[in-house]
Amino acid sequence: MQSTTRCPRCGYVLTYNGAAYYCSFCGYPQTQQALPPSLRSLEKFSDRIQRFLAELKPRIPPQPNYYPVNVIMQPCANCGFNFPKMAQVCPSCRAERAIVPQSTPSTSAAEAYDLDRRVFDYITAHGGTISRSQATQDLAITQPALLTSIERLKTGGFLSQS
């Protein structure tokens, strides 16, 4: 340090505090000036908000994850809006779903082949023993459709009952 003990930044006389010289005018050798009281109160307020949010986070329940699934859709008889077949009320017009009796299944050969293939793969994956109710849930089909498909697989020689 120079013998004049002047601040190299502003030229003010440096003060010695027993450990080092410092300038009481510009704050040398400090590089950061003290915050004015108004900014210090904002900084404290920001810290309080951060602590509040940190305390609140464990209390917020986790949001559920939604994954797409193969859902069979049907048009509403009242307004024509497509909604899941398992729903009892149309979300658009609030009309109750009319249960239409299916006297004859109107499936094409390609749909029947696809269904039979899915049922056959399901039975093979489960070692030949399945629960009908669980299979209808896993394959998203009705029990009559499952039984019809099993019968087609039996008559085609793909399944045998032991």
Cα–Cα distance for residue pair 111/144, rounded to 1 Å: 15
Between the alpha carbon of residue 1 and those of residues 7, 22, 113, the distances in Å are 10, 12, 93
In this prediction, residue 102 carries a pLDDT of: 47
A 10 A CB-CB count for 147 gives 13
The identity of residue 112, as a single letter, is A
State yes or no: pLDDT of 2 exceeds 50: no
Rg (CA), the chain: 38
The enclosing H or E element of 43 equals helix 37-56
Say if CB 148 and CB 105 are below 8 A apart. yes
pLDDT in tens, 66-95: 544 566 777 888 888 877 777 778 877 888
pLDDT in tens, 10-68: 888 888 877 778 888 777 775 455 556 666 677 778 888 888 888 877 666 665 555 44
Indicate the burial class of 90 (C-beta count within 10 angstroms; 0-12, 13-18, 19 or more).
Answer: buried
Planar angle of CA 86, 89, 93, nearest 5 degrees: 135
In this prediction, residue 84 carries a pLDDT of: 75
Name the β-bridge partners of 14: 23
DSSP state of 96: B
pLDDT in tens, 114-147: 888 899 899 888 888 888 888 888 888 988 999 8
What is the phi/psi pair of residue 96, to 5°?
Answer: -75, 145
In this prediction, residue 130 carries a pLDDT of: 86
In this prediction, residue 126 carries a pLDDT of: 85
The gap from C-alpha 85 to its chain's centroid, in whole angstroms, comes to 24
